[in-house]
Amino acid sequence: MSSTIAGIGVLQAVVYLLFIRAVDLYEREPLSYVVAVFVWGFTVAVFVSVVFESILQYTLGVMTSARFAHALTAVLGAPVIEECAKGAALFLVFLFSLLLARSRGEMEFSGVMDGIVYGSAVGFGFSLAEDLLYYVQFGPETFVVRRIFGGFGHAAFTSLTGVGIGLVPWVRTLPAKVALPLLGLVGAMLLHAAFNLTATLFGALAYAFLFLVVLAYLVLIILWLAFERRVIRQELCEEARTGTIDPREYPLMPTYFRRKLHYARLLSRGRFGHWRTDRRVHAAAVDLAFTKRLARRSGDPARRERVERLRERILQLRGVSVGEPEGL
């Protein structure tokens, strides 16, 4: 029975992970990156947190009572240690993405949604490992309650760090590039500390606070997806006028579900070649839209060069075989 409960908890974390990646409608992050930060959260971040929190609590316990030392560690120490341990994975992924961008010209970690995906992934891994430790200490009831009510907690906290890092490519000045990740990390620490303080003082009432945090997290996702849709519509309007994008295909680009319906129609009619080409054209067009916006915001010459390469790629793909949008 106990192994079944633990197995369901693991399955829940995997479902959460796949869900948050799927919510990134327009430019999904590589699954290998997402899994890597999840594993970091489950292993490295938890190990580092347990070691340093144990040292801190022992040190404070020498100077004060064990109960007060535990409370101080939970409210002041744990948020700093855990958010730094989780945030380290996001900084590493960003640096790796930056190195690849210099060779390929393609930045995998850019924008609010990317930060939310990676921040959530490392948070899901950390939360699962932490809850399994609680299972061993306090039994299945505690594990089930934490899984049901707190599964998105660490994801929401660390997403703030991810958002700060994800906005770095969108700003030009060095002070802003340094300040945004730090502000995101501090925000994650403060939100985490507020939750732990509420839990310390009011117990289960902390989950009501966490509900509001997760609600804000979901609203942020919805708002950024709406922003991305607007960017696609605005940036590709010019491309449709100049002929890079087929004007008949342009209405498909900003709407994820219309594109999926279009692909389903092609598959149902056995037009597999058109299906493959259209998917590539549309993916390159969405990439072009975001790259154009980033090129203007960042002023990076490499991004302007990538804009031209993407235009050439779209024209080449369309020249090979262009699937005509249906039902428009």
Taking all residues of the chain, what is their mean pLDDT, rounded to a whole number?
Answer: 89
pLDDT at 150: 82
- Please report, rounded to a whole number, the percentage of residues in the chain having pLDDT higher than 70: 94
Question: What DSSP string describes 138-179?
Answer: H-HHHHHHHHHHHTTHHHHHHHHHHHHHHTGGG--SHHHHHH
- pLDDT at 40 > cutoff 90: yes
Q: If pLDDT is split at 50, 70 and 90, which confidence band does 327 have?
A: very low
Structure confidence by residue, pLDDT tens digits, 122-152: 999 999 999 999 898 888 888 888 888 788 8
DSSP string, 40-99: HIIIIIHHHHHHHHHHHHHHHHHHS-HHHHHHHIIIIIHHHHHHHHHHHHHHHHHHHHHH
Question: What is the pLDDT, as a whole number, of residue 248?
Answer: 86
Question: In this predicted model, which residue has the larger pLDDT, 253 or 328?
Answer: 253
Q: Is the pLDDT of residue 203 over 50?
A: yes
pLDDT interval class at 106 (50, 70, 90): low
- Separation in Å, CA 265 to CA 156, 259, 260, 272, 325: 37, 10, 9, 10, 10
CA distance 122 to 85: 10
Structure tokens at 313: 């790629």
Q: Look at residue 194 and tell me whether its pLDDT is greater than 90.
A: yes
Apex 171 CA angle, 165 and 176, nearest 5: 70
Distance, CA of 68 to CA of 294 (rounded, Å) = 49
Q: Cα separation of 203 and 214, whole Å?
A: 18
> What average pLDDT does this structure show over 38-59?
95
pLDDT in tens, 243-294: 888 888 899 888 888 999 999 999 999 989 889 999 999 989 999 999 898 8
What is the sign, positive or negative, of the torsion defined by CA atoms of 177, 183, 186, 187? negative
Dihedral class, residue 110 (left if φ above 0, else alpha if ψ from -120 to 50, else beta): beta
* Count of positions (residues) in the chain: 328
DSSP letters, 192-228, are HHHHHHHHHHHGGGHHHHHHHHHHHHHHHHHHHHHHH
